[in-house]
Amino acid sequence: MNATAPRTASHLHAVTPDDAVRQARVHLAAANRLAVHDGLEEGIDNHFTMVVPGTTDRFLVLPFGLHWSEARASDLIVFNEQGEILEGRGSLELSALSIHAPLHRITGAKVVLHTHQTWALALNMLEDNRLLPGSQTAAFLAKNIAYDDGYTGLAAELSEGERLAGIIGDKHVLFMKNHGVVTVGDTVAQAYRRLYRLERVCKAQLLAMATGKPLALLSDEMVAKVDKPNPNDSHPRAEREALYFAAMMRVLDRTNPGYAD
């Protein structure tokens, strides 16, 4: 795939089985760079992982020590839940293994994104860290968040990922109090769009709270109405996710090319 070629949503759909691993690598590398573009990363820390297409127990991740802004498809290593590096060169950071491998195995998520992004973390530093349905975008997320209110320290054992998997269940987002957030998805596009939108709604909520004035929240009925898929939508959610990620890859093609190498 030419990193500088114009991209459309077809790049995320028209994929043969032989291309699936290649696309997974390109998209995951792009997501790492996009996190820098969107201010969601911490340099070399935190982790984005994806199940290697065609497998259930092998995972792609950027090797520890590379800055997210320099991620390339060819840099990604493949590891398993035993912590073995099966493909590629570089080291696997312990918390990537401890958190991500069990989350993939237990929840069935194809993609797991974990960050300490600023505004979501700021909300998770509050005693009451619940995301409130104060906007249309928040309505898409609020009912799909699980909350881990018991920080246990640095993740060093698979049991921590198993604990987190038990909390997130079938939700799309995990709030980790005093720690950060996780989003999961079937595709990189889906999981990353959730992560990006989450940061924006957390920022909006904290800014609104900072005014000291009462918040106008949407009712449960309105949240359900907004969150319910519309069969007559001209652009269903999966297509919106694909179009969004394709657009952001074109942004990278202009501003930080090379992720597809």
pLDDT for 103-145, tens place per residue? 999 999 999 999 999 999 999 999 999 999 999 999 999 999 9
Q: Report pTM.
A: 0.91
Average pLDDT, the chain: 92
Residues forming beta bridges with residue 111, ordered by sequence position: 50, 185
Q: Where are the domains of the chain?
A: 9-255
Residue 249 has pLDDT above 60, yes or no: yes
Residue 91 has pLDDT above 50, yes or no: yes
Could you tell me which CATH number the domain at 9-255 has?
Answer: 3.40.225.10
pLDDT category at 233 given cuts 50, 70, 90 is: confident
* pLDDT confidence of residue 7: 46
Mean pLDDT of 222-244: 84
* 20-57 residue pLDDT tens: 999 999 999 999 999 999 999 999 999 999 999 999 99
